[in-house]
Amino acid sequence: LDLDLATATRVLANGTTTVEATITNQGPVAAHHLQFQFQVDAGVRIDGADPFSLSTQCSVVDTLASCHLDSLNANASEIITLSVSSDSAGPYIVTSSVSSDEIDEQLDNNMVEDSISFGTDDSTGDDSDDDRSSDDDTTSDDNSGQSSGSSSSGGGSLNLGLVLVLAGLGWFRKRAQ
């Protein structure tokens, strides 16, 4: 099994963001009775856990989300989208793990720890409750110790930013001609 988390690294104060957990069965056979757990620090709420497949059952109690998958075929993946929020500014640690009945010889990729910082929007200093979306500073932690910019969250702000950058480049190019 392999576990990957895609998280927003910075979220506006009083904001909500999503964390996308991808569980992949890299083994040669199906994995059975998979257990996925996602835990956040005190001060952060898990507002929901939504699995991609209907056969995955998830429950949320306080700062812990638990999901059960009956089976996952070899080379198949399950995605669970978790909604998290906080009313308090600060960095918070999120941890997750996955296990199954089968023997897994690579246990080091079955656990992920990441952080999310809730705080103000540095560009405006706006700390109001009106803007509850996260910004587009996201990372994907695949247990390799490196982060990559992934767009698993941000409420479409990454797409809007890309459109604005492309429009600006077009304007500069047209002006240069």
| Position 171 pLDDT exceeds 80 | no
Distance CA(42)–CA(48), nearest Å, equals 16
The whole-chain average pLDDT of the chain stands at 77
Calpha distance 153→8 (Å, rounded): 6
Sheet arrangement for strand 10-12 = 10-12, 111-119, 90-99, 31-40, 64-72, 57-61
Q: How far apart are the first and last CA of the chain?
A: 54
Compute the Cα dihedral for 154, 114, 25, 83 and give only its sign: negative
Is 161's pLDDT higher than 50? no
> pLDDT higher for 108 or 147?
108
Does pLDDT of 14 surpass 90?
Answer: no
Q: Domain span at residue 116?
A: 2-176
pLDDT digits (tens, 9 = 90+) for 131-153: 333 344 444 444 443 333 333 33
| Residue whose C-alpha is closest to residue 1's, from 144, 70, 101 | 101
Task: Between 4 and 154, name the one with better pLDDT.
Answer: 4
CATH of the domain at 84: 2.60.40.1510
pTM for the structure as a whole: 0.68
Counting the structural domains of the chain, the total is 1
Pairing of strands 16-24, 2-8: antiparallel
Give the pLDDT mean for 112-131. Answer: 62
Q: Which amino acid is at 63?
A: T
pLDDT per position as a tens digit, 33-65: 999 999 999 999 999 999 998 889 999 999 999
Q: What is the mean pLDDT of residues 120-130?
A: 42
Q: pLDDT band for position 177 (50/70/90)?
A: low
* Residue 4, pLDDT above cutoff 90: yes
